[in-house]
Structure 1
Amino acid sequence: MREEIAEVLIFVARFLDYPDHQFFNECSDLDQYVKKNLIDEELQREVSQRLQPMFEMELKDLQELYVETFDYKDKSGLYLTAQELGDSRRRGEALIRLQKLIADLGFENVSKELTDYIPMLMELLAVAPENDDVSQLKRRLAYAINRIFTHLPSSNPYSNVFDILMTFAFEAPNSEEIAQLENEREEADLDPLPYPMIYR
C-alpha cells in the first residue's frame, strides 16, 4: 500500500472514534495536528479544510452528533459486517472469518470493539502486508465506507471524514458491486406480530 494512503487511513481512523477530551485537546490547533501526522502539503490543506467544521463545535455537541450519527444506525453504523449483511445471522460466521484473517496476518484485536469495527480495520489495512485477502478486505471496506458516505447529509461534519477516505484512500465500488452486495443484506423484521402475545 502506498505510504500516503496508509497515513490517511491511520490518521482518519482516529476521527471516527468517539471524540473524548484528549482527542479534542490534541486537535485544538487542527492545522498543526494535521501537519504533524501527514507529510504531503496538498493533502494537509485538503484534510484540514474538510475537518475544520468538527472543531467549530463544542465538544459536548460533537459527542452528541457522533452518537446520533453512528450508534445503532443501520445506514451509518461503523461495523463492516453490519454494513454488508444487515440484521443477519450470518454476521456471526463473518466475524469469525474476519478474526481468523486478522490472526493469520499476525495481529490481534486488543480493543473492546467487535472485530469488524471499521476504524480498527482501517488501521489494520494500513500496516498489513499486501496479499489477496488484504485486497479483498480493502474492497469490502470501500463498499461499507462509501455506503455510509452516501447516507450522510452533507451538512453533517462527519460526512467530510468519509469524503477524505473516498477521495484519498479508497476507490468507490461500481454499480455492479453495490447491487451484488446490497442483495446480501437482510433487514430487521420490525413488522407487528399478526396477533397479540400475552404473558401471564
Structure 2
Amino acid sequence: MNVLTRLARKEQVPGTARDRALARRIAALVLDHPDERLLADLPVLRRAASELPEPLREGLLETIVHLEGSPLPVLAEDYVEIFDIQRRCCLYLTYYAHGETRNRGAALLSFASTYRTAGFLPPTDELSDHLCVVLEFAATVDPATGERLLLRYRAGLELLRLALLEEESPYAGAVAAVSATLPPPTDRVARSVVKLAAEGPPGEQVGLAPFAPQDTGRVPQ
C-alpha cells in the first residue's frame, strides 16, 4: 500500500470541539516521555478516552493499553528507541519541514511568539515545536490557533504517523487520533508527504521507505 493510499480518508472530522480538545489533551500526555505520574493517571485517561467517538477512541486506547501493560523501565527504553534514536519518528514538527537549517530556528521563534501572544508559557525543558507542547496548547489554551499550527506542519505529522505504523509502534494509535481531530489531508498535503518521504527534510535523508532502520544520536536541539 503506497503513501497516498494510506493517507486517504473520506470521513468528516469526528466528534464535537470538546471531543477533539480532549483527544488532543490525552495524546499530549501519552506521547510524552513516560514517568510515574503518567502511569498513575492512566486509569483516568482510559475512562476519558473510552467516552470519545471513533476514530479518536481506538487509537488513544491502543497507546494507553501499551502503557498499562509494561513496567516503566521498559516503557522508557522503548520511548527512547522510537522517538529519540529514529529521526523519522521525530516529535519535533519543524524538523520535518526544515531539518537542521536556519529556517528551523525562525520557525521555532514563530511558535514561541504564537504562544506568548496567547499567554501560554510552554515548559522550559522542551522546544516549542514538540508535538506534546503543541497539543497541550491546542487542547487547553487556543484551539483555533493550535489547530492552525498542526495544519501548517501536517505533512510532518502524517509522515510521523506512517513511520510509527511501519514500526508497528503502539504510539501510532495516539498520533492517528491526533490526525483524526483534523480535517482529512488535502491533495497538496499528500503530495508533500510523498516528497518528504522520498527526500527527507532539507539536508537530511529520513524519508519513509528509504530511511535507515535506525539512526544514531538524538535529534539535535
Partner of 1:139: 151
* Count of residue pairs brought into register by the alignment: 183
Name structure 2 gaps, 5 residues minimum: 1-15, 206-221
Structure whose CA Rg is larger = 1
User: Is 2:30 the partner of 1:15?
Assistant: yes
For 1:77 and 1:184, the matched residues in 2 are separated by 12
Contact 1:74 1:83 in 2 (8 A): no
Q: Does 1:40 align with 2:51?
A: yes
Q: Which residue of 1 aligns with 2:160?
A: 148
Q: Which residue of 1 aligns with 2:134?
A: 121
Q: CA deviation at 1:49?
A: 4.5
Q: Which has the higher contact order (CA 8 A, sep 6+)?
A: 2
Whether 1:84 aligns to 2:84 is no
- Alignment match of 1:171 (pick from 179, 183, 196): 183
TM-superposition CA deviations, 1:74-127 (whole Å, max 9, x none): 211111111221222211111111111111122222331011111011111123
The separation in 2 between residues aligned to 1:40 and 1:84, in whole angstroms, is: 35
Q: Which moved more, 1:99-108 or 1:5-14?
A: 99-108
1:178 shift after superposition: 4.1
Checking the alignment, whether the CA contact within 8 Å between 2:23 and 2:178 is kept in structure 1 is: yes
Matched, 1:185 2:201: yes
Q: Distance in 1 between matches of 2:187 and 2:52?
A: 33
Q: Per the alignment, do residues 61 and 12 of structure 1 end up closer, same or farther by CA in structure 2, a change over 3 Å counting? A: same
Mapped partners of 1:122, 1:41: distance in 2 = 17
Identity among equivalent positions (%) equals 21
Rounded Cα–Cα distance in structure 1 between residues aligned with 2:147 and 2:57: 29
Shift of the alpha carbon at 1:135? Answer: 4.5
Q: TM-score, normalised by structure 2?
A: 0.70
Quote the RMSD (CA, aligned, Å): 2.8
Indicate the larger mover: 95-104 or 150-159.
150-159
Q: Say if 2:83 is the partner of 1:70.
A: yes
SS at match of 1:75: helix
Q: Deviations over 1:112-161 (max 9, x none)?
A: 10111110111111234465x54531303533321111112252211222
Mapped partners of 1:49, 1:160: distance in 2: 6
Consecutive unaligned residues in structure 1, runs of 5 or more: 190-200
